[in-house]
Structure formats: C-alpha cells, structure tokens
Amino acid sequence: MRTVVGRAHGWLTRSRSGLVGLALIIGAGAGLGAVVFRYLILGITDLVTGREDFSDAGRVASLHLPALGPWFLLLAPVVGGLLYGPLVYRFAPEARGHGVPEVMVAVARNGGRIPARVAAVKSLASALCIGTGGSVGREGPIVQIGSALGSSIGQWLRVPDHRLKLMVACGAAGGISATFNAPIAGVFFALEIILRAFSAEAFGVVVISSVTANVIARAIVGDDHIIALPAYSLGSAAELPLYALLGLLAAVAGWGFSRVLYLVEDLCDHVWRGPEWLRPAVGGLLLGGVLLALPQMYGVGYPVLEKGISGGYAIGFLLVLLVGKMLATSLTIGIGGSGGVFAPSLFVGGMLGTAFGFVAQGVFPGLGLSPGAFGLVGMAAVFAAASHAPIAAVLIVFELTGQYSIILPLMAAVALATGLSHLISCDTIYTLKLLRRGIDIDDDSRADGLLRALTVGQAMRPVPDSVTAETHVGDIAAGRGGVAPVRGPDGAYLGTVLTTEIDGGANDTPRTAADLAVRLPTVLAGDSLHDALRALGRHETTGLPVLAGPDGELVGWIDHRDVLGAYGRAVV
C-alpha cells in the first residue's frame, strides 16, 4: 500500500501529467475562493450600508442606520479598522497592504512558500476593509488568496521548489480569472507580474488553472462583465496621435500614482506612534472624512468608473475623482488597510482618459471622438505604466469590457505608457514596495555574473558508483540522489537507474540495469553554472550527469547542492 501511495505521490508531484492535475485542483480552489471573497465583500457592504455597492449612492444615509445620516461614512472605516487591524496584526502581517508584492517576493526569494493562514486572513481582512469603505481593489487580495492556496497544496505535497512556484502562479491566475471573468488576462498577469518569466510549461499549467477557475466561478455567479459600456470604435487613423498622447500622459499618471501611494504611507508611518493593531481604526477617521466629502470613493467603485466613462460626469468632476481616488487609496493602504491597487489604477486611468477625451472632442469636433473610448484606453495605459505589465493591461481591459474594436489605439497607448514609464523609473507600483524594505528582486547581477563565470567542471563531484548494463536490479546500490549510472562494455554512458523504479525488483522477473536505465539530460563540464541550473530545474532530486564533451565520457555528477557549494566558495 505504501508503495502505491508513494508512486501516486511521485506521479502527482514530479510528472508533467501530475502537474496538470495539480493545476486543475488549484484552479477549482481559486475559483471557489474568488466566489467566497466576492460574496464576503457584498455581504459586509450590505450589512454596513444596506446596498451591495455604495459608491454611486451619493452622500446619503445607510439604510440600516438612517438616524446617523451621511455621518455613518465617518464611522464605518473606524469600525472596520477595529475589526481587521487586530486580525492582521495577530495572525498574518503579510495580509496588510495590497498583497501582490508579498507573492512576488515569495516566488523570487522563498521558493514559492506562503503560509497557509494568509488566504483566510487576507480574505476576511480585505472584505472588512472594502466593505467598510476602504478605497482599494479586489485583485491584490484574490491574487494573494489564490497564491497562498496553491502554495499550501504544494507544500503539503512536498513538491520541488520550481514546481511550487508554478503552483503559486496557478493560484494567482485562477484568482484573477474568476474575479474579473478574465481568463486570458489572468494567465498573463501571473506570467508577467508573479513569475516574471515565460516558458511553455508555465504557460500550459497556468492556462489550465485559469480556465478551471473561470468555469467554476461562472457556474456559480453567472457570466457577467464588471463594467457594462456602450460599443466604441476607432473612427479614423487620424485619432491615433491623440491616443498616443494619452499614453504619454498615462505614463506620468501611473508613475505619479505609485509615488503618491508610498508618500502617503511614509507620512502615516512618520506620524503614527501607537500600536500597529490600532492604526487602521484611528486612521479610519481620516479616510471617513474623505468619504464624507467624496462618497464615490467608497469601496472598489466600479459603478462610478462605469458612469464616468459613459459620460455621466463633467470634466472638472472627473479630475476631482481622479485625485480623490489617488488620495483615498493611498490613505487606505497607508493606515494599514488591506486591498489591491489594480482597480484604483483602472479608476485613475478611466477618469484621466475620459477627461482627455472631452478636451480632444472640443478641440477637434470634426473627428467625432468618443470620450468613453479614451477612458477605456486610459484604464489600460495607467495600469501598464504603474505595473510595467503591458500584455496583462491590454488583455484585462479588453476582457473586462468586451471592447475589441479599439484594440489598435489600446495597444499603441499601452506601449507608449509602458515605454515612457520605464524611462522615468525602472520601479513598478509593486516592486517599489519591496525596495522600500530593502528587497530588490531584480538585483541578481552579482549572483548571475558569478554563475555565468563558474563552470560545471568547477562544481561537479565524482561520478556515483556505476553499474554495467547486465547488472541485476537487486544488486544495484544507488548513490546520492538515488541514482546509479549505467555503463556499456566500452565504458560509455548508457543512462541512469533511479531507485524509485526498482522497488521490489529483486523478487520480480529478472531485470537488468539496461532495462531500467533512463536518459537524464546531460550537461558539459565546460557549461556555466547558470546554464546548469536551468537544466537542473526539473531534476533537482536526482542531479544530472556531466560529460566531457557532446559525445564524451561521463566525468562527473552535479546537483543543486554542488552549485551552491561552488557559489559559496566563490563568494568567500
């Protein structure tokens, strides 16, 4: 029985088909988690305000607390802070803030390990924060929730680190897909922002997880778009320079939003001197004041975004909403709130783009411009500028709105916004948070340089005890890594026997080493350790054989420990 369980575990955690099964499980879990998180937010918002979304209600009373009038807006964030502040402080400090940077550093530095408790604490804390007026989004929490789920499953199964990172990305993609009904964007969000790399294996499993999560969520909540807008189209090529100009403005707005966010957080850190668990409640008074002055900032604010892009507000008020959202989101995060910055980026971009569209319409009346089309493009462009994730930006706005007819100006503006924001700063709204903690996940230059300079020959160890092709499996004693190289009559390397494949071999029909030998990928003694690490990604437990040349003899063996040992000696 133990052998059967062991083989099943080995198949699930190490084979490619097993990885597909894990992606399906994580996708289903992320889909269900996104649905639960959605209803948590709706339920808490309704409990506090009497409405599922209060942002477009105006300066009115809560239906449950009519005696307070609009003044309940001053108290709601305080009550919410009193609830989620101690929860986050006591059980999961990682749940504070917008969540995505924590997932990024877990993948880049911690092998994809995220504590299991983060999913539960993040979902409840973010739902309380948003439901009581926090002006933040749902994407950061759901990315962290889905990623924590994938990581927890992987840690429970004891999967290798490289596969654990893929499971974290699967959870992130599934969360985005299920929350926003955006399966394609979920895939590229995970690849561009979480993994920060593309590979065929990663793409395949992340797609499976994203699709599974979307199917689960749509089966429960139905097929809907968060924003419903009239159809827009590109009137003529003469409009493209205007969209290009909007892309440049969006680059400045996206960069500015990230700077305002952390400037306000620095100010809150400088002013606050009390216990951290009380900070959200006390700071909630300031947030409540903003909500009292501008109730459109309550919660995520998709109805306000939709109304703004549809032409429901004048230019002046669009700019007020733009500045208000930057301030309200920054304040929510600064006081210790829990929520994402993706939706606020879309909001800022929508207001900026629509206001720009109205101005362009007045300056060029003969072009028949649609301000709402500029609003849609602005959404993607500001997010791309803030995150440096242009593919995800294009796809997520397209999937959120279903508007394909403006894809050309959308792509042009996003490309320019991303390019200019890169020139202004290499930091993103996500990596800047890590840099402030002294963590630079992009600064691997020294390590990368050493790994490229060192060779496999400098790190490899002697060949494990080898066997001949005729050796009976019962006589094989595997060395480190559970491997036994197999040599032919002339001493040539024929393959490797893995001990996991010879359980009970001595009592079965006689088999030889040649029967069980598998051809592991080989590395050359002259290869760099950088290249060797990439080859070792799928074979970290067994290690890999080292050949003297393309058709040369077996001269050594190498695994991750040998690479680390050589690197450590070089650093010293």
pLDDT score of 369 more than 50: yes
Please state, in angstroms and rounded to a whole number, the distance separating the CA atoms of residues 87 and 97. Answer: 14
pLDDT at residue 5, rounded to an integer: 52
pLDDT in tens, 283-322: 999 999 999 999 999 988 889 998 999 888 999 999 999 9
- SS3 call for 547: strand
Q: Are residues 300 and 410 in the same domain?
A: yes
Same domain assignment for residues 431 and 455: no
Sign of the Cα torsion 501, 506, 510, 514 reads: positive
- 345 pLDDT higher than 80: yes
Residues 320/321/322/328 CA torsion (nearest 10 deg)? 110
Query: pLDDT value at position 389?
Result: 87
Q: Answer whether residue 504 shows pLDDT above 70.
A: no
Q: How far apart are alpha carbons 257 and 346 in whole angstroms?
A: 11
Q: 435, 469, 501 — which closes off a domain?
A: 435
- Assess whether 451 and 553 both reside in one domain: yes
Confidence of residue 445 (pLDDT cuts 50, 70, 90): very low
Instruction: Supply the pTM of this predicted model.
Output: 0.76
Tell me the C-alpha distance between 51 and 73, whole Å.
13
Is it the case that residue 505 has pLDDT exceeding 50? no
* DSSP string covering 462-515: PPPPPEETT-BGGG----TTSEEEEE-TTS-EEEEEEGGG-TTGGGSS--BHHH
Neighbours of 234 (CB within 10 A): 17
- Domain limit, last residue, from 383, 406, 435: 435
Please count the structural domains in the chain. Answer: 3
Q: Which of 387, 416, 435 lies at the terminal end of a domain, its last residue?
A: 435
**Tens digit of each residue's pLDDT (9 = 90 or more) over 63-108:** 888 888 889 999 999 999 999 989 888 887 777 777 788 888 888 7
- Joined together, the tokens standing for residue 560 give 């991750």
Q: Per-residue pLDDT tens for 531-564?
A: 788 778 667 667 888 888 766 788 888 888 888 7
- Per-residue model confidence (pLDDT) at position 294: 93
Range of the structural domain that residue 177 is part of: 12-229
Structure tokens at 505: 């071999």
Rg (CA), the chain: 27
Residues 317 and 209 in one domain: no
Both 253 and 215 in one domain: the answer is: no
Question: What is the predicted pLDDT for the residue at 213?
Answer: 93
pLDDT-derived band at 116, boundaries 50, 70, 90: confident
Query: Would you give the DSSP letter of residue 226?
Result: S
- Look at the alpha carbons of 189, 194, 196, 201 in this order and tell me if their dihedral is positive or negative: negative
> Is residue 219 situated within a structural domain?
yes
Backbone torsion region of residue 143, taken as left when φ is above 0, otherwise alpha when ψ lies between -120 and 50, otherwise beta: alpha
Q: Out of 28-42, 135-149, 512-526, which region has the weakest mean confidence (pLDDT)?
A: 512-526
Do 196 and 264 have their domain in common?
Answer: no
Whether 1 maps to a domain, the answer reads: no
CATH of residue 484's domain is 3.10.580.10
Who's near 133: CB < 8 A, 6+ residues apart? 48, 54, 73, 76, 77, 80, 284, 287, 288, 291, 297, 298, 299
CA atoms within 13 A on the CB side of 275: 10
- Higher-confidence residue of 199 and 557: namely 557
Question: Cα-flanking dihedrals φ and ψ of residue 275, to 5°?
Answer: -65, 145
**What CATH number did the domain enclosing 173 receive?**
1.10.3080.10
C-alpha span between 55 and 296 (Å, rounded): 4
The mean pLDDT value of the chain amounts to 84
Asked, for residue 40, whether it belongs to a domain, the answer is yes
Q: Give me the pLDDT at residue 480, please.
A: 65
Q: Is the dihedral of CA 222, 228, 234, 235 positive or negative?
A: positive
Tell whether 399 and 324 lie within a shared domain: yes
Pairwise CA distance, residues 542 & 518, whole Å: 12
Tens digit of each residue's pLDDT (9 = 90 or more) over 461-471: 888 878 887 78
